[in-house]
Structure 1
Amino acid sequence: MPPVLLDPVAPDLSPWLRAGDGIVVAQAGAEPTALVEAAGAHAQALGLSLFAGMSYTDVFPRLAAEGARVVSYGALGGTAKALGLEIVPCNYSALPALLASGRIACDVVLLQVSPPGADGRCSLGPSADYPADALAHARVIVAEVNERCPRTAGTTVAYDDLHAVLPTRRELAASAGVTPGPVEQQIAAHVAALVQDGDTIQLGVGALPEAILGALAGHRDLGVHSGMVSDGVLALIDAGVVTNARKAGADRGVTVTGSALGTTAMLDALDGRTDIDFRPTSRTHGLAGLAAAGRLATINSALQVDLDGNAGSEGISGRRLGCIGGQGDFLRAAVASGGSAIVTLRADRIVERLDGPVSVARSDVDWVVTEHGARSLRGLTDAGRRAAMRELAGGRLG
């Protein structure tokens, strides 16, 4: 049956909420902020938990200050500022199983979707990832149906499977553009030399990934299989650099991702495209999806790497600044594919010992790249690793 239409001025989710419910919230540009506010109004009284990822808004800090319990896979964007933020330290590939088992509760899923098409289905817009996996386990699905939400290819949900909807027309939350500096450009040049024509690449977002994407402009027939894509990926697709032509099977010719984290111009440009597929985390980070992606060049940034090669991406000196994410998943997959598993950082972030948790163990770290060059740690002894890392630090550590 058709979903219930919520009051656009004061949406009330109380008929669909139960005490102790776990609420899973779509992230980044797909965050349904008004629905989060509506659920948050009952969070303390009903003992609700809100599971959220990257947020471009201040909604989670405000709700946490009012007593809401906020849980995440990392400290990202506005979510990082939530008082008492609880973090589940895990590889991104673990999220689907954690949701399926109830270890991360997903009684209610809050989405932002496009209006239904002729097939009666709504696109999940610029972010499918973990909420798409949660849909099969949720008791209730509520969506903001936003006329401005791009209709993207990939994961969809039937309009009649939604329990309640909030019709809106608003611009999606987006990131500001970034301008790489000279150090990022130096690192990017070293990374580009490790990527071969025809490789399938994976990157994060930020100034350094954008610099790397720019440095790949001279490559040919690159593919993309990544948890997230940014403005730079779209630019390489439109320039004919990313073609996905050397992938096998159903992914040939298609960029596969979970989320788009970019500017408003990029999010608007996604509407109606069929060359970018938005898939659940189980597809983007699962073994089957990674095995079908071809020869991988995975490029991840770290907050710190120590002289033994352990990488930290979650925090420094007690400050939570990031997440484990998909680094471990993609680094292992790259080695298995015969590709390049790359960790990037500025030379001044190489340290004797990490100031935070080990996010990726030294046994999974291969290439490390700084502005001083690129070195492979695979097969090196402890002494060889430490010598290579000192070179990458520019001699700063003796």
Structure 2
Amino acid sequence: MGVYADYAATTPLDKDIIENVMVHSDEFGNPSSIHKLGKRAKAHLESSRRAVADLLNASPQEIIFTSGATEANNMAIRGIVSKYDRPHIITTEIEHASVLNTYKSLEAHAEVSYIKTDENGVMNMDHFRQELREDTRLISVMFINNETGVMQPVYEIGQMLHDHAALFHVDAVQAFGHIGVDVKNLGIDLLSLSGHKIYGPKGVGVLYRKTGVMMTPLITGGSQEKDARGGTENSMFIYAISQAMQKAHDGRTERTIREMQMKEKFLNDLTQAEIPFKVNGDVNQSATHIINLYFPWAKSEFLLTALDMADIYISAGSACHAGTVEPSHVLASMYGEDERVMKSLRFSFSHLTETEEIERITEALKEIYERLV
């Protein structure tokens, strides 16, 4: 059996959730149909919507179901930017590709400010304050960085924007299930989530849109999802993500304690094995499930191949670059052209991770290191 330590890329599908979905498979009707089967499907869909809303401290009408967080991020950004004539918008240099590349594609239609990051992996708040203007219309900041696990000052930004006209968009894909996500308490206007990062299926996500926020639809068609997204709703997967969110919420304390234990064991084992490494980012300000390490003695691509041959599955960073190993834009923002950009790996753990798996990763790294030196 191999060792999987790439849970930030995707998680295995919870079998209990699939079984629960199949129990409700009779609710296959089109929620937009007016006959009894359609009305039953509609009621089932709205029950899932209420469940998701409750978990975010939102209202059901504020929940839009999507095909995933990439679509949700595009909906939020493009839907707001298109309503203005070249608006000023702000994001950071360390966003996920679905945010960063969307902003880059809009530079002809908007004035975009990219906030720098310090060596701890935290966005530079002084730079943010300098860039924030009265005419700023949208701000996108991820809650937990998907490559380093470092938490960004979302609450502080929400407080700053309390009396500002700018809308606050948060990519919370790596946050939900690991830390509390309360949209009202955090002052968030738009928030994106993905099913397959919390043991739900791929192909379903959530966009929270605060009441009163107007967006141009990204996908036009019927009047589904409060006129925000055309297309027949994927009721079964929507039910699945509501179940996955509930389980992640209910088991958060137990899960995060286990994740932290595995991460601490990994760092301790590496130290005891005398394998040279450094942590990328502030380990004291990071989520429990992600750690990004710099190994000065080997390039990322070599280590990934060597570990894969040892049946250990990890990544160098985001899994959204079609399987390629590219220099991390997150680490480049943190360290510039330093060699650690090309010699770092991301390990991401789960409440499913076993102690023996951590030991196998350390043993494999030790063998590779000793062969090289």
On whether the aligned pair clears a TM of 0.5, the verdict is no
Higher RCO structure, 1 or 2 (CA under 8 Å, sep 6+): 2
| TM-score category, normalised to shorter length | under 0.3
TM-score, normalization by structure 2:
0.27
Higher strand share: 1
Higher helix share: 2
